[in-house]
Structure 1
Amino acid sequence: MEQIAKKAVRDGKIEIIRFLAAVIIMNGHAVSLGFNSERPFMYGWIYVEFFFIVTGFFTAGYFSKKNSNGYPGYINILKVSAGYTVSKFIPFLAYTIIPVIITYVFRNLPFLSEAGKVSFINRLTRLPAELLYLSEASPHGTLSYPLWFLSAMFIALPFICIILNIKIVKLDLFIAVGYCAFYYQIADFGLIAMPNTIFRAFGGMCLGIIIWHFTEWIRVKTIRFPLRVMITVIEVFTFILPLFISFMNYSMRDFQLICFILWMAAIQSGQSLIPKINSSFFNFLGKLSMPIYVWHFAVICIINYFLPNAQMGLKIALFWILTFAIGIANLIIVNSVKKSKKKQPV
C-alpha cells in the first residue's frame, strides 16, 4: 500500500511495516479459501489503522509547508483538496483496475447460472463505483472487500485536506483531537465502524494529524540523553508488541492502536537514537505491498472458481506464489512505464 503522501520522506522503518502489515492482513483473508484452521496472524487486520495514521501524518506535513497565501478563498481550498486527493489515488489505478474486474467477474459468475443474466448484470453495475474508489459510500460496501479502506480513505481524505488548508492556528489539531476523543470512545473500531468505514478512516487520519503536531513540538526540544533512551525503548517495544499480539491472536486492538501511535511519534520525533533507515530493499518491499495486497483477493477468487475441491495445502501454496508473482510483475510493469514516460521528450 503505497504511501499517500510526500515521497521524499520515505523511511525504511515505515516501509517494512507497510509490507509486513499487508502480508499479515492477507494471511487473515486466506479464510476466504476455506482455510479456517487456527494459525498466527489470523486477526491482523488492525494494521489497517496504521495506514490511516501514516496517511494523516504525512498529509498534515505536506500541507503545513504550503503558504496560506497560496489558497485565497474557500473555493480554491476545495479545488486544492480535491486535486491533492485525486493526484494521490490516480497512481493506484495501475494496480487496482484489473484485480477488481477479475474479482467482480469470478464472484458473480455463479449468479449467471443460478439467477440468470439479469441478476449477473445488475450486480456488475456496482463495478464503476468500485473502480473509482467510491464503493464505501454505498450501503452495499465494497465487493472486493479488502479494498474497502482505499475507498473509505479516498472519500475521507478531501475533508482532511480542507481542514488542513484552513489556516486558522491549531484548528486542525482541535478538530482532530475532538473527533478522536468522540469516535474512539463510542466505536469498537475494527468490528463496528460507526456509522460506516468512512468515519473510521477519518478518525485514523485525525490520529496522524495529532501525531504530526506532537512531533513538530518535540523535534525542536533539547532533550537529555536518558529521555532519548526512553524514546528509543518505546520505539523498539511498540514495533514488536503489535506484531507479537497479532501473532498470538490476542484481542487487544486498543493497545495495538496505542502502540501504532507511540511508534509513529517516536520514529518521527527526531529524538530516537535509532536513525532513519535508507534502504532500497525496504523501499522495494514497501512499494510491493500495494500490488500484492490488491491482487491477493482476485487470486483467491480465481483459485476458488477453478479449484474448489483442491487440497488446502495446494490452495495456500498457489495463493502466496501467484500473489507475489503477479504483484512483482505488476510493480515492474508500472515502474517501467513510468521510466519510459520520463525519458520521452517534452
Structure 2
Amino acid sequence: MATVRLENIKRRFNNVTAIEDITLDIPDGEFWVLVGPSGCGKSTILRTIAGLETATSGKLYIGEKLVNNIPARQRDVAMVFQNYALYPHMTVAQNIAFGLQMRKVDPKIIQERVMVVARSLSLEHLLERKPKQLSGGQQQRVALGRAIAREPQVFLLDEPLSNLDAQLRDDTRAELKQLHQELGITTIYVTHDQVEAMTLADKIVVLNRGRIQQIGAPNTIYSQPTNRMVATFLGSPPMNIVPAKFTGNGFDVMGQILSCPNSVKEKLRLGVGQNFDLGIRPEHISLVEPSRRREHPEEELSELTVEVKVVEPLGRETLVRTGFPGTSVILNVQISTEVLSKRGDRLSLEFNLDKLFVFDSSTGDKLYP
C-alpha cells in the first residue's frame, strides 16, 4: 500500500491539453473517485498514474518514489478496465493467477492466493470455467480478482461497472466497498456515475475540461458545491438551476417574485438589476397546500407557481418535472406518493431559502452562500 501524489501534472496530445495542472495527494489506504463528464480527463489521469500515458510535465509519486520515468510494469499498480480484458483461452483460476505467474511467484503461493481471492469474490465454484461461460458480473469479479491477487500498492479502476445491468451494478458496488474495507489498498476509481461516486468514495475529485473543480468528502461536495458545474453534476435528480433577475428585495423568476433572506440581499446589494442563476435541490422544494394559504393569509411564502410537465412515480416518492408556462426551464420536485398530480396541473412551490444557492450566470461561480 502507498500514497499517490501528483504535482502539477499536465498531459498534452499535439495541440490538445487533456489534463492541466492536476495536483492530488491521496493518502495510503483511501478510496478516491474521479468524476466528471465525458472528455474531462479522468481516464487520462488514471492511465498516467498506471504508466500507460506519459505526463508532459509535472511529478508523479507512488509512495516516496518518483515514477515519471519508471515503466508501467514496475510501478506495482493493478488496473481494472471497463472491458474486463480477460484471456478467453484461460480458466478463471488461470486468469487470476496470470499476474503472479509473470512475476515468477512460487506455484504453491499462487495456488493459495487464488483460492483466497476466489472465496472473497464468491468465485470458488467457477475456477475451471472460461470467460465465455460467465455472466458479465462474474467476468468483472474475475478481473477484480486478478488485480487483488497481485497485492499491489495501488488499485486503479476505470469505469469497471459500466457494462453491468442495474441490479448487478448495485451488488458489485457493495462488494467493491466491502473489499476495500477488508484490504485497505489505496484505490483510485474513475466513473461518470455520480451514485457510484457518492456511495464508494472517501474523497471525490470533480473534473471538467481537464481541470479540478472541487475535492472533498461526498456529503461536503453535495451540500457545499464550489460552482454551478459541481452543483448540477452530483445529485439524482440534479440541482435545479433557474435564471432570475435580482430586484433588490428578491428575485424576478419568469415574471414571478421570489423573496430572499436578508443575507442574500446584503451579498448581492451591488447587483440590483443583474441576472443570476438560482440553485435549489428537489428535496428542498415543498408544495404549498391551498388550505395553508387560506388559514394563514398574513404569512409570507417564498413560492412560485409552475405547471406539471411529467410525473414519474419512484415508489417511496414521486418525481414531478414542472415548468414555467411559455419557457423551457424545468424544475424537478420530489413529493409524497400520496399527492396525486397529472400533466397540466398548476402547483405552488415553496423554496427552503436556507438551502438556496446563487451562481454567476456567466462564469458559474458560486456567489451565495
TM-score, with structure 2 as normaliser: 0.24
Which of 1 and 2 has higher RCO (CA within 8 Å, sep 6+)? 1
Higher strand fraction (1 or 2)? 2
**TM-score normalised over the length of structure 1:** 0.25
